[in-house]
Structure 1
Amino acid sequence: MIGRALVASALALHLSAAPALAQEPVKCNPKRASPAIAESWAQRRLNVQRVWPLTMGQGVTVAVIDSGVDETHPQIRLAGKADLTNTTYRDCVGHGTAVAGIIAGQPRNDVPFYGVAPGVRLLSIKQSNDTSGDVSVLAKAIRAAADENADVINVSIEAQDQPDLRAAVNYALGRDIVIVAAAGNQQKDDGTSSPSYPAAYDGVLAVGAATPSGGRSTFSNPNAVAVLGPGQEISSTWTGKGYQSKLEGTSYAAPYVAGVAALVRARFPNLDQVRVRRRIMLTADGASGKGTGAGMVNPFLAVTMLLPSEQVAVAAPVPPPLPASAVRKAVPPDSRSMEVATAVAAGGLSLTAVVMAFWMIVPMGRRRGWRAGSRTAATGATPGSGPN
C-alpha cells in the first residue's frame, strides 16, 4: 500500500505543473450521480468475464487523458495522477471518471458494474476542466503518459490537427504505446463530418460508437473508424461516488476498446502496438456499413483467437547451421592398403589350406607305408561280398 502511494506521489510530482497554491476551478458542478446502477447491454454484449480466467490486464499500464478521475469512488483504483490544468485533480465534469470506470472499474458483489480490465495499473492525466480543452495541453498529456511508460493511452477527446499534437502521437507510437481515441461525434447540421484528431492520425486505433443492435450510432463520426465499441445508452462510474446512465458518444466507446487493448497486451506481452491493433481489428465482429470499421470489438476472440500469420511472425528463429569445423570430413578410401590387405588375406587362406592338407595326408601315408590303397578300398567295396 505504501509502495503504491509512493508511485502515485512520484507521478504527481513529475507531471504536475501546478503552482505552489492550486486554485479551485471557477466552475466545478458535475451532473449529480445516481447511487445505484443496473447492468448495461454493453456488459452483456462484450461479456469480458469470460476472459478474466486468462487475464484481467495485470502488468499493463493504462493512461486516461481526460477531465480527471474521482479517486474516492469505491470502484476506482488509481496508481498515479497528474494535473496539467494547474487547478486540482478533481473531476469537475464526470467524463474522466466514467471513462476510467469502463476501462478498469473494480468488480463488487453488490454492484452489477465492472470495468473491462480491472487488473491494470491506471493513471489519470487531467488535461481539461470542461468538455473541451486546449490542444497543446492534450499534446503535453500524451507525451507525459508516454514518459510514464504507459502501455495503452485512452483519448476520449476530439481536437483539430496541430503539429505539436501530431508530434506527440508519433512520440508515443515510437515508444510502442497503443493509442485508442474516440472517432468523434458529428457536429454539423447538414450531416457531413470532418476528421477528428488524434483518432484520424495513422497508427491510432479510432473507435466509433455502436448501438445495442451492433450498428453504428447516427451521431458517430464515420471517418477513419477502425472498430466500434458500445457508445449509446451506456452506464458507468461518476464523480460523487455514484453512477450515471444513458451516456452516449464515441467518448464512451473508446474506453471499451482501450480495455480490450490492455487485455491483449497482458495476454501477449511480446506483441508490439502495431500487432495489438491488428489483432483487435481482425477479431472484431465484422463491418455492418459505412463508418463501422471492422465492426464491434470482441474481447474474447481478441484474447484467444489463433492468428496463423501472427504465429509465423513471432516464431522462434531457425538456429544457425553448424560451422564446417564441427563435422569431420570422411577419409577417402586407401586403394593400395585395400589391395595389400586382400592379398594378405588370400595368402593366409592358402597357407591354412596347405597346413590342413599336410596335417591329414602325412599321418595316413605313414600308416600305409606310403603304399597306394587297394581298388576295393578305393571303391569302398567290402572283401568277400561279391556273388558266389
Structure 2
Amino acid sequence: MIDRVLPATALVLGLVAVPWGAGPAMAECDPEAGVVTLPADEPWAQRRLDIKSAWQLSTGAGVRIAVIDSGLDTKHPQLRGFSTFIDITGTGYTDCVGHGTAVTGIIAGRAYPGVSFHGVAPQATVIELKQSNQSEGHVANLATAIDKAVQLKADVINVSIKAADNPVLRAAVHNALASDCVVVAAAGNITEKNKDVPAYPGSYEGVLAVGSATPDGRRADSSSTATPVGVLGPGVGITAPWPRGAYRLDLEGSSFAAAYVSGTAVLVRARFQHLDQEQVRRRIIATADGSVGQGTGAGMVNPVLAVSAVLPFEPAGRPVVAAPPPAPIPADAIAKLPQEDVVTRDLALAVFAGALILAAVIGGLGLVLPLGRSRGWRVDPPA
C-alpha cells in the first residue's frame, strides 16, 4: 500500500513546497513485471464474494467512483474507456508503480473474454486521479485529489493510501462526506519499518476503513489493528491487472481490500439511489459476514447481501429484492353461490308429486271408464 507517515513539521512544509510528484522521470518508469496469462480458475476473492450473483441486482451503472492513486495503464484490455483522468503530479498518465492499475482493476475492471479476472462494479464510471508517481505520496496532493473528486461529483472515493493526520486532509474528507461522497480508505499495513499506528483518512469519523482478510475470512497478520476498521476485504494472494497489459497474482495489503469494498459501495449506490453516504456505509457494515476478532470490524464484506438485504432501519424507497407480490383477489371477483331457497324447493316438489298423482288418476280412469260402459255399469253378482 502507498504509505506516508510524516512528522507534523514536514507536513506543514510539504503544503507550501514545490508541486508534489517529483520522482522518477518518465524514462525511468519501470513497474515490476506481471504475468500475461491468468490461471483458468477464478481468483479466490471473486469466488468468496460471489460478485456475479450481486450483478443480478447491480453492476454499478451510473455511479461515479474516484480512484486516488498512482495512475493507470489505460491501454490494459480490462481498463479501457475510463475517459476522466486527472494528473496532479504533472508526470503523465503512466502508472510507474502498478498500484493504481491494480486498485482500479479490482473496483471496475471490465469482463474480458477468456479472462478469469473481473472487477466488482464493471459498469461504474471511473475518475482516475494520479496523486503519486512513486511508491509514496504526499498528504497535500491527497487532499487536493479528494477536493477534485468532489468537484467532479464522485459518488464514491477510494483512498488506498495511509497518511498521517493533517488539518488539510481532515478538511478535505469532511467536505467530501458533507457532499454525500462515500469515502472508503485502507486501514493500513503493519511492516517492520511501519509500526501499527492509525491510518488516515481511514481513522476519520464517517470514513469506511477497510482491513485485509485471508481466504478463510480472518484478519491478515499485516492488517492494522490501530485503525477503527469497519469491514474486511480480500487482501492476501490477490489477483489484479498490472501495467503493460499484465496481471499480478500475489498482491497483499489493505489497499486491495479497500478496493473490493469501494466496488461494493458502487453497487449499493447504483441499487439504492435514495440512500445517502452514511446510510450506504451503514448498509455495508450491517450486511458483512460478522466480526472475527480485533481489527476485523463487522467482518468480511458481502456484496450480495449489501445489494439485496432488507434492513428495517433504512428509509422506504426502491424495492429491495423484487417487486412486491400482487394484491390479493378482490372479494367480489368471484360470484358467490346464492343461498338455497328451501320454500321454493319444497313447493316445487309438492307440485311435481301432485302432477304424478293426477297423471296416475287420469291413466286409471282411462282404463276403467271404457270397461264400465261396456258392462252398462252393472256389477257382477258374487260367485
TM range (shorter): 0.7 to 0.9
Query: For 1:5-51, what per-residue CA distance to the aligned partner results, in whole angstroms no more than 9, with x for missing partners?
Result: xxxxxxxxxxxx99xxxx94363110012101232110110111001
TM-aligned CA deviation for residue 165 of structure 1: 0.4
Partner of residue 129 from structure 2, selected from 122, 125, 133: 125
Matching residue of 1:66 = 69
TM-aligned CA deviation for residue 69 of structure 1: 0.7
Matching residue of 1:305 = 309
TM-aligned CA deviation for residue 314 of structure 1: 9.2
User: Could you tell me the TM-score, scaled by structure 1's length?
Assistant: 0.73
Verify the 8 A CA contact 1:61 1:152 in the aligned structure 2: yes
Is 1:200 matched up with 2:186? no
Corresponding residue SS for 2:224 = coil
Verify the 8 A CA contact 2:211 2:223 in the aligned structure 1: yes
Report matched runs for 1:253-332 at 5 Å.
253-311=257-315
Unaligned runs of 5+ in 2: 1-17, 320-383
Unaligned runs of 5+ in 1: 1-16, 316-388
TM-aligned CA deviation for residue 67 of structure 1: 0.2
Partner of residue 88 from structure 2, selected from 84, 87, 93: 84
Verify the 8 A CA contact 1:210 1:230 in the aligned structure 2: yes
Matching residue of 2:54 = 51
The AA in structure 2 aligned to 1:250 is S
After TM superposition, where is structure 1 displaced by more than 6 Å over at least 4 residues in a row? none
CA distance in structure 1 between the aligned counterparts of 2:217 and 2:56, rounded to whole angstroms: 26
CA distance in structure 2 between the aligned counterparts of 1:138 and 1:192, rounded to whole angstroms: 22
TM-aligned CA deviation for residue 109 of structure 1: 2.4
Query: For 1:298-353, what per-residue CA distance to the aligned partner results, in whole angstroms no more than 9, with x for missing partners?
Result: 000000000011146999xxxxxxxxxxxxxxxxxxxxxxxxxxxxxxxxxxxxxx
Corresponding residue SS for 1:125 = strand
Verify the 8 A CA contact 2:291 2:299 in the aligned structure 1: yes
The AA in structure 1 aligned to 2:293 is G
TM-aligned CA deviation for residue 242 of structure 1: 1.0
Matching residue of 1:163 = 167
Matched residues, percent identical? 53
The AA in structure 2 aligned to 1:112 is S
Matching residue of 1:4 = none
Matching residue of 1:97 = 101
Structure 1 residues 121 and 313: CA distance shift in structure 2, 3 A: closer
Query: For 1:120-149, what per-residue CA distance to the aligned partner results, in whole angstroms no more than 9, with x for missing partners?
Result: 001110000112111100000000011000
CA distance in structure 2 between the aligned counterparts of 1:302 and 1:97, rounded to whole angstroms: 25
CA distance in structure 2 between the aligned counterparts of 1:194 and 1:129, rounded to whole angstroms: 25
Matching residue of 1:32 = 33
CA distance in structure 2 between the aligned counterparts of 1:150 and 1:262, rounded to whole angstroms: 11
More deviation, 304-313/77-86: 304-313
TM-aligned CA deviation for residue 187 of structure 1: 3.3
Verify the 8 A CA contact 2:157 2:183 in the aligned structure 1: yes
Verify the 8 A CA contact 2:274 2:317 in the aligned structure 1: no
User: Could you tell me the TM-score, scaled by structure 2's length?
Assistant: 0.74
Matching residue of 1:12 = none
Matching residue of 1:224 = 228
CA distance in structure 2 between the aligned counterparts of 1:312 and 1:159, rounded to whole angstroms: 38
TM-aligned CA deviation for residue 186 of structure 1: 1.4
Verify the 8 A CA contact 1:217 1:232 in the aligned structure 2: yes
Corresponding residue SS for 2:157 = strand
CA distance in structure 1 between the aligned counterparts of 2:264 and 2:111, rounded to whole angstroms: 16
Query: For 1:262-318, what per-residue CA distance to the aligned partner results, in whole angstroms no more than 9, with x for missing partners?
Result: 000000001000000000000000000000000000000000000011146999xxx
More deviation, 254-263/25-34: 25-34
The AA in structure 2 aligned to 1:209 is S
Q: Look at both structures and tell me which one has the larger radius of gyration over its CA atoms.
A: 1
